Structure 1
Amino acid sequence: MANTALWMFIVSNLLVFTLGSVLTVLSYRAQKRLDQDSLKYTTLGFGLITASIVAEALYAPGIGGGDWLVARHLLVLYTMESLFIAAGLGCIAYSLLSY
């Protein structure tokens, strides 16, 4: 059962990382093609959201030697991930407002 959970964690993070990376690259290419400064924030936003997945994937297995996460460490992980996502969504919102 633990092996299945680990593979689900790996596959889901790879999927989100891949899609986030594709959106970041597409946003960057659109910004270069259209020469719109507001699209820089869209690229930054998608990059921050993708970075939240990277931070989670690197931080979670390292807590407690890979054992179950304790509540305090889990709270730090979720807070860190939420801050990355909030900053990314804020950048995307700013980009849309200034377009």
Structure 2
Amino acid sequence: MPNTALWMFIVSNLLVFVLGSALTVLSYRAQRRLERENLRYTTLGFGLITASIVTEALYAPGIGGGDWLTTGHLLMLYTMESLLIAAGLACIAYSLLKY
């Protein structure tokens, strides 16, 4: 059963990474095409949210390997991920406010 959970973790993170990357690229292209400053913040926001998934994927291999993460490590992982998501959402909100 642990293998199923690990694969679900990998597939879900890969899906969010692909979608986040696509949104970041689309936002960047729109910013370049329309030359709107607020779209830079949208691109940054989507990039930060996507970076949170990369952070989790790079930091959490201990879950699937032999080295289990301690509670402190998990809290640090969730804190870093939440801060990146919050910063990304703040950038997107700022972009909308400037529109």
TM-score (norm 2): 0.94
Measure how far apart 1:85 and its partner are. 0.2
List alignment gaps of at least 5 residues for structure 2: none
Counterpart amino acid of 1:97?
A: L
**What is the CA RMSD across the aligned residues, in angstroms?**
1.3
Name the CA distance, whole Å, in 2 between partners of 1:56 and 1:35.
33
Name the CA distance, whole Å, in 2 between partners of 1:29 and 1:62.
36
Name the CA distance, whole Å, in 2 between partners of 1:26 and 1:46.
10
User: Which residue number in structure 2 is paired with residue 93 of structure 1?
Assistant: 93
User: Which residue number in structure 2 is paired with residue 25 of structure 1?
Assistant: 25
The 5 Å alignment of 1:35-46 reads 35-46=35-46
Counterpart amino acid of 1:78?
A: Y
Secondary structure of the corresponding residue to residue 94 of structure 1: helix
Q: Spell out, residue by residue over 1:10-44, the C-alpha distance to the aligned partner (whole angstroms, 9 max, x if none).
A: 00000000000000000001111111011000000
Secondary structure of the corresponding residue to residue 69 of structure 1: coil
Secondary structure of the corresponding residue to residue 68 of structure 1: coil
Residue 52 (structure 1) aligned with residue 52 (structure 2): yes
Name the CA distance, whole Å, in 2 between partners of 1:62 and 1:37.
40
Q: How has the CA–CA distance of structure 1 residues 62 and 68 changed in structure 2, closer, same or farther, with 3 Å as cutoff? A: closer
Q: How has the CA–CA distance of structure 1 residues 8 and 23 changed in structure 2, closer, same or farther, with 3 Å as cutoff? A: same
Contact 1:60 1:66 in 2 (8 A): no
Name the CA distance, whole Å, in 2 between partners of 1:68 and 1:33.
47
- Count of residue pairs brought into register by the alignment: 98
Q: How has the CA–CA distance of structure 1 residues 87 and 71 changed in structure 2, closer, same or farther, with 3 Å as cutoff? A: same
